[in-house]
Structure 1
Amino acid sequence: MSVRLTVTRSIVGAVTAAVVAGGIGIAVVAPWPTTAREPIGLDVVPEAARSVAACDGPLLVLGRDESAPGAITEAAAAAVVSAADGPAPTETSLATPDRADTGSAPAAFTADPSGGRPTDLAAASASVLDDADLRGLSVSACTRPAMESWLVAGSAATGASDIVLLTNPGDVAATVDLRVYGADGAQDPVAGQSVVVAARTQRAVPLAALRRGEESPVVRVTAAGAPVRASLQSALTRTLIAGGVDQVSAAAPPATTQIIPAVDVTVAPDSGSSAGGMSVRLLATSADTTASVVVRSVADGAVVSQQDDIALTAEHPLELEVTGMPVGDYTVTATAAQPLVASAWTSTDISAPADFAWAVGAPAIDAPTLVTVARAPGPTLTLAAASDATVTLTPLAGGDAQTVELRAGQSRSVTVAAGQTYRVDPGSGVVHGSVGFSAAGQIGTYPVFGSAAAAAELTVYP
């Protein structure tokens, strides 16, 4: 290789290096071109699944047989009503391994999809009895199972004989943990850990076995493997006299606002025979907070009670007495800066054959849903509006529809027929609903749950 060629290549290499280095320097100083792209998403509706509703079943009683004080037996059968807006629902009887008898079994209903969408399914049950150790009216809605539920009701104090019901209507076994909140905070009782609920089975766990003596418990039910329907049967005896019975649905999940659409006060405050107008049970589920409880008349919307700056310690239930309530129906709204759960308790005249009812915070209804009215006396449907709403109430069996106009914060009760099923369409609004029943010495209520057919769209990103 000649010296001239070598020098030439060296010069070219140096020039090239300088150009590259300069380019890199300019690239560092100069802004790079950018491209903003929105993520590509596809809105889809999940494939329609089979609709499921599980029921509480018959009223149960603890220790009626003196030779077996811990035995759980049937006290009264349940009358169940079901309906669907598509294929007729199929009824299945569930196993009850914790019962000492072979009485009637709790029912579960299923309905297959129709036209590519889930079939809307609703059912409800009612039981009534008047025995020396147990009396009153019990009503409940049959509902879908869930992976987490909150039972905001009942007592494990002397005179109470409450039972937690865990119902698995599915084909896969579930394992359930029960956490009980009380005066000393949260506890995980041994009797409530790793409770196996086999497929198509209902388990019954006495509340006293979880936290004996607790007067104002709240129970968190967490399932793994399969969802379960959690509920509570509450029974009370006052000095050997039956004081009432109730089957209580799970309350709406923790939120900063809880709405109890209707609490029925049946006894005047000056009668001397009422147990008190009502009591409200609150639990801050995750953090200390300050709550407000407002009680409004369903009839005219007037505020009859308001308590602000209620200090709530996380995981410690609080029982709030609301006294001096005139006879009537009331909507209770509890708000706080941190999530909470809520319920309200009221009773009939305790100087006569008595009964009581727990009204729990009701979930929001933002799409058409079915509600079945149990076969029980004096039924009414109460709707409480979270936003302005025009609600259409249509009997599923046919008949004239009713239109209910509601402003945000307003409530209204509508007379409905026992044993019938209605479609509740909130239009573009959001409402909370409950079905209540009342007669001499009888009272009961359950919330309206959202439709299984209202499957939300999902946005899927690749």
Structure 2
Amino acid sequence: MTDEQEPKPTEAAKEHDTASTERARRREAALRRLSKTGPSKRAAAVFGIGAVAAVAAMTVAGSLWAATTPDIDTDARPAELPATQTFSVCPGVPMLPEGSENGADVQFSADSSDAVSALAVAAASDLAGNIPGMAYFAAESSPDEEPSPTQITDSLAEDVQQGPPATAGTDGTVTNSAHFEVISDPAEEGQPIALGTEPVGGTPGIASGTTQYAATDGDLAGMTAAACTPAAHQHWLTGATTTTGTTSVLTVTNPSATNSTVNLSVFGADGPVEASGASDIVLAPGQTQSLLVAGLAPRQNSVAVQVSSSGGPVAADIQQHRLDGIVPAGVDTLQPATAGSNVVVPVLQIPGDAEDIADESGLDGQSPTLHVTSTGSAVSATITLRGPDGPVDVPTEASAIELAPGASTTVDLSGVEPGTYAVEIDADANVVASADSLAYNPAGDNEDATGNTSAVDTAYMPSTAPIRGETMVALPAIADPESRLTLTSAEEATVSITPIDDEGQRGEELTQELSGETAVTVEEEDAAGYLLETGANDVHAGVLVDSSAGISAMPVNTVNETGSGLPVRLGY
């Protein structure tokens, strides 16, 4: 093809030119029609085009930035409610059962010429010097009317109870005060005592109570001290004995203002025990009920009871005493134990004459004993003792145990060197535990019909929860007691200890350093109570009490936050 030759259009080009010409003609016709319309019609046409464009723009924008729902925090948050009064229950004094009907409704009587009992209460103020209001009442087996509390300390104004925590008094002065009081024979016929403590500054008041019983003659010769324990919907009690010569009485108390339905689960050497009369026990407000443990699990060396309640929370304990023939062989109170795969019993005393007690007193089968119960699964566990200088060797036969599901067993610790220890049980499933210390008490003026003037007393200590923050301890106050506070921790920890005297005056604060895997004993001669404070998470505490009437032990419990609010979840 030469330069002078024009290229011939293709069929496709011809079709394209025709289409372009047609589009131009239609556009010119539309413009002529628009020029012939009036202003109003023209504006309307323009508005219509603009509206279409606006809708199109909104549609495009909506596709680019889709509308989102507002951010809503649906996590549960506490709906703030007024702080509430906390209730704990102090076990009644030991009594002899006179009889029972189907293992329930036990009647009691005392059998001692010199038995005495007392309730000791201690409390600490906030930084403005406000002592929490405290009151108590005796729980009854069949309350005919609403309990009438007896006031111990004055009730505080509502704004002080529910307001923010005080940082100082109204004059700007920081005031730290305390209260200690002993109430002799607070209840007749051995009823448990319900102790109520009002909040201060929107948090539970720092207070505690201890009941004590002492006698030097009769079948209940001995001494027992028991901490007032918080009411809850579940308790574990372990270490009860139902063999010949030992009487164990389970007591359950409802200190709340609503009915409570209680169910008992019983565990023995072979696992769970089918027990009649252990279900649907209804307790009215302020009511208590007692049952013989032998009626639930007879002829057992070690029995554990799980107490569960619906409705109002309850408290529970087991009072136990032993006779070897007609010779008193110990009285004590078993208190709730803490369950877990790693549990700590903060106090165990091995007497220097442990192996000679049976020979000297004529009492067989008595030795320092550890009780361990599986709460459900089969368990393999190791046992370690903590002393003031660290871990202590345990005899090989007592260093490890195997438990069937729900089974309870005992470990004889009489081969351990004399001293005061804490016990750690490390298991591959949950267990509860208690330790039974022993003391040989020759009571020269306690001659029975056989002329025997010797006696053995026992001291049960349960596995405990760690203490938290500030914790008050009220010490026993009758029968010339010598109370020793034992602190133990798996890790290094620091505990501040402020003694409280019997006039309610605070002493000089001291600091106790704890090395890991140790148990340290603290004793202040003039202390009637202690205020403990720690920021550690693994400090366990207990009190061992020696007196002219016998030996006892009790746990140290921190008052937990209650009534601060209900978790409320928002959503749709």
TM-score, L = length of structure 2: 0.68
1:336 aligns with 2:427: yes
Counterpart of 2:180? none
The partner residue of 2:369 within 261, 276, 279 is: 279
Q: CA deviation at 1:331?
A: 1.1
Shift in CA distance, 365/43, structure 1 to aligned 2, threshold 3 Å: farther
Counterpart of 1:420? 528
Counterpart of 2:94? 59
Shift in CA distance, 74/240, structure 1 to aligned 2, threshold 3 Å: closer
Counting only pairs closer than 5 Å after superposition, residues 247-396 of structure 1 correspond to structure 2 as 247-252=333-338, 254-271=339-356, 273=358, 277-297=367-387, 299-305=388-394, 307-349=398-440, 352-376=454-478, 377-396=481-500
Secondary structure of the structure 1 residue equivalent to 2:88:
strand
Is the Cα contact below 8 Å between 2:243 and 2:299 reproduced in 1?
yes
Q: Residue type matched to 2:351 in 1? A: T
Q: Distance in 1 between matches of 2:515 and 2:564?
A: 25
The partner residue of 1:95 within 123, 129, 140 is: 140
Q: CA deviation at 1:303?
A: 0.9
Q: Distance in 2 between matches of 1:48 and 1:179?
A: 33
Q: Residue type matched to 1:312 in 2? A: L
The partner residue of 2:327 within 241, 248, 260 is: 241
Q: Residue type matched to 2:107 in 1? A: A
Percent sequence identity over aligned pairs: 24
Shift in CA distance, 266/438, structure 1 to aligned 2, threshold 3 Å: farther
Q: CA deviation at 1:393?
A: 1.0
Counterpart of 2:516? 408
Q: Distance in 2 between matches of 1:318 and 1:73?
A: 32
1:120-161 alpha-carbon deviations (Å, 9 max, x no partner): 221001101123322101110011111010111221111011
Q: Which stretch shifts more, 407-416 or 263-272? A: 263-272
Is the Cα contact below 8 Å between 2:204 and 2:559 reproduced in 1?
no
Q: Distance in 1 between matches of 2:536 and 2:437?
A: 33
Q: Relative to total residues, which structure has the larger helix share, 1 or 2? A: 2
Counterpart of 2:50? none
Q: Distance in 1 between matches of 2:355 and 2:379?
A: 34
Counterpart of 2:271? 185
Shift in CA distance, 169/132, structure 1 to aligned 2, threshold 3 Å: same
Q: Distance in 1 between matches of 2:264 and 2:566?
A: 31
Counterpart of 1:72? 108
Counterpart of 1:3? none
Q: Which stretch shifts more, 432-441 or 359-368? A: 432-441
Q: Distance in 2 between matches of 1:42 and 1:219?
A: 35
Q: Residue type matched to 1:303 in 2? A: V
Q: Distance in 2 between matches of 1:119 and 1:199?
A: 23
Q: CA deviation at 1:440?
A: 5.6
The partner residue of 1:431 within 516, 539, 554 is: 539
Counting only pairs closer than 5 Å after superposition, residues 123-272 of structure 1 correspond to structure 2 as 123-252=209-338, 254-271=339-356
Q: Residue type matched to 1:282 in 2? A: V
Counterpart of 1:48? 83
Counterpart of 2:35? none
Secondary structure of the structure 2 residue equivalent to 1:381:
strand
Q: Distance in 2 between matches of 1:192 and 1:228?
A: 15
1:449 aligns with 2:535: no
Is the Cα contact below 8 Å between 1:387 and 1:429 reproduced in 2?
no
Q: Distance in 1 between matches of 2:380 and 2:73?
A: 40
Q: CA deviation at 1:285?
A: 1.1
Q: Residue type matched to 2:512 in 1? A: V
Q: Distance in 2 between matches of 1:304 and 1:276?
A: 22
Q: CA deviation at 1:301?
A: 2.2
Q: Distance in 1 between matches of 2:390 and 2:565?
A: 36
Q: Residue type matched to 1:289 in 2? A: V
1:95-139 alpha-carbon deviations (Å, 9 max, x no partner): 1349xx963543222122222222122100110112332210111
Aligned length: 423
Q: Distance in 1 between matches of 2:225 and 2:526?
A: 12
Secondary structure of the structure 2 residue equivalent to 1:149:
strand
Q: CA deviation at 1:204?
A: 1.2
RMSD: 3.0
Q: Distance in 2 between matches of 1:399 and 1:334?
A: 36
Q: Residue type matched to 2:407 in 1? A: H
Q: Residue type matched to 1:399 in 2? A: G
Shift in CA distance, 235/429, structure 1 to aligned 2, threshold 3 Å: same
1:399 aligns with 2:507: yes
Shift in CA distance, 292/119, structure 1 to aligned 2, threshold 3 Å: same
* Structure whose alpha-carbon radius of gyration is higher: 2
Is the Cα contact below 8 Å between 2:270 and 2:404 reproduced in 1?
no
Is the Cα contact below 8 Å between 1:277 and 1:324 reproduced in 2?
no
Q: Residue type matched to 1:155 in 2? A: T
Q: CA deviation at 1:74?
A: 3.8
Shift in CA distance, 237/216, structure 1 to aligned 2, threshold 3 Å: same
TM-score, L = length of structure 1: 0.83
1:146-181 alpha-carbon deviations (Å, 9 max, x no partner): 101011122111101110011111111211111110
Shift in CA distance, 302/87, structure 1 to aligned 2, threshold 3 Å: closer
Is the Cα contact below 8 Å between 2:238 and 2:304 reproduced in 1?
yes
Q: Which stretch shifts more, 88-97 or 177-186? A: 88-97
Is the Cα contact below 8 Å between 2:349 and 2:437 reproduced in 1?
yes
Structure 2: stretches of 5+ with no match in the other structure: 1-65, 125-130, 144-186, 360-364, 443-453
Shift in CA distance, 206/402, structure 1 to aligned 2, threshold 3 Å: same
Q: CA deviation at 1:410?
A: 1.8
Is the Cα contact below 8 Å between 2:247 and 2:321 reproduced in 1?
yes
Shift in CA distance, 210/393, structure 1 to aligned 2, threshold 3 Å: same
